Structure 1
C-alpha cells in the first residue's frame, strides 16, 4: 500500500497562497535535499486542478539544467483531482497526466492502495484539506517561513475541524525556515 506525503510552504500565520513571497528567503540547499527525499519516495504526483493548471506551464518546459526537480515533475505520472478535467485535456496540458475525477475519498484510497510507493502532493490546498479530513495524509511536511502575511488563503482556515497531529521530525535551515513533519496522531 502506498502513502500520501504533502508538502506546503506556509507563513507563520498559515498562509500558503501564491508562495512567491518565499523567494526573499532563498532556497537553502538542505531544504532542497529534504524535498528531493520526499519526491524520491513518490511514484506519482497528486494535484488539485488549480495547482495542476499553475504547475503545468511552470514545469512542463523546464529541464534538469533549469531546475533539478524538473525530471520528477515532468516524467512522473500526475493524477489530477478534478470534476472538470478529462484525461485527454490533462495529457494535452502536461505529459503523463490523467484525471481522477472529482474529489472522492474512496477513489483516492483505491489509488493509494494500488501503489507501492508514495503519492506526492504540493500546494493543492482544497485537496489537502479534504485528504486531511478523510485521514488520507500519511506525512504532512510544512516548510514554515518566518513571516506573518496577515492575509491570504490559509492551509487551515477559520472553521477547520479540530485534528490532532504528531510531530515526527523538525529541521531548522540557515534561511530561518522550519521544516515540520507531522503524521496523524
Structure 2
C-alpha cells in the first residue's frame, strides 16, 4: 500500500498560483534538471487534483495531458464531464483515497490545489509533504494551505538545494 504524497511547488510566501491560477512565475526560476521530478513520478500509482488545477495543467501542456499512463481523478462538484485519461468525481477525498490505497500500486500523488490539500489534511490523509520552495514573493495568490486548514504537526525528513529551489520533505 503506497503513501499519499503532496508533491508541489510554492512561492516563498506560500502561494501555489497567482489569483488567476497562473504559474508563469514558477517557470522563470532555474532548478537543477527536473528537481527530482522523474524519480518521484516513478513511485506514483495514481494522481488526484482539483478541477482548476486540472484545467491549468491542460493549459500549460497545450491540451496534452502529462499523466495519461496512470489513473487520474479530478475532484469536482460537477462530475458529469468526460475526458480522455481522467475520471471526474464528486466523491469525498477520504472515500477516494481509501479505495485507491487498496486498488493502486504505488503512491497517490495529490497535485493540488489548495482546497484539495485542505480536505486531505482535514482527515489526516497526507503521509508525506514534498515541497519545492521557489525564491519569489508573489504578494498575493492561492495559498498552499488555505485559511481554516487543520493544524498539523510535521517532522522534517529531508532538505536539499536544487538550483534556486529548496526542496523540503516532511512526514506527518
| 1:116 partnered with 2:105 | yes
Which is further off, 44-53 or 54-63?
Answer: 54-63
Superposed displacement of residue 123, structure 1: 2.9
Query: Following TM superposition, by how much is the alpha carbon of 1:6 offset from its aligned partner in structure 2, in angstroms?
Result: 1.5
Between the aligned partners of 2:102 and 2:4, the Cα distance in structure 1 is 11
1:180 paired residue number: 168
Q: What's the CA shift for 1:168?
A: 1.2
Shift of 1:51: 1.0
Bigger fraction of residues in helix: 1
Q: Which runs of 5+ in 1 are unaligned?
A: 64-69
Between 1:20-29 and 1:43-52, the stretch displaced more is 20-29
Rounded Cα–Cα distance in structure 2 between residues aligned with 1:100 and 1:112: 17
Provide the TM-score with structure 2 as the length reference.
Answer: 0.85
Aligned position for 2:52 = 50
Give the total of aligned pairs: 168
1:1-185 alignment, distance < 5 Å: 1-17=1-17, 18-29=22-33, 31=35, 34-59=36-61, 61-62=63-64, 70=66, 73-86=67-80, 89-91=81-83, 95-174=84-163, 176-184=164-172
Query: 1:59–1:74: 8 Å Cα contact kept in structure 2?
Result: no
Structure 1 residues 90, 165: CA separation in 2 closer, same or farther (over 3 Å shift)? Answer: farther
- Where does the alignment leave 5 or more consecutive residues of structure 2 unmatched? none
Q: Is the 8 A contact 2:93 2:119 kept in 1?
A: no
1:103, 1:127 within 8 Å by CA — same for their partners in 2? no
Worse overlay, 133-142 or 117-126: 117-126
Secondary structure class of the residue paired with 1:143: strand
Give the conservation status (yes or no) of the 8 Å contact 1:141–1:179. yes
C-alpha RMSD of matched pairs (Å)? 2.1
CA apart distance, 1:26: 2.5
Q: CA deviation at 1:48?
A: 1.0
What residue is the counterpart of 1:67 in the other structure?
none
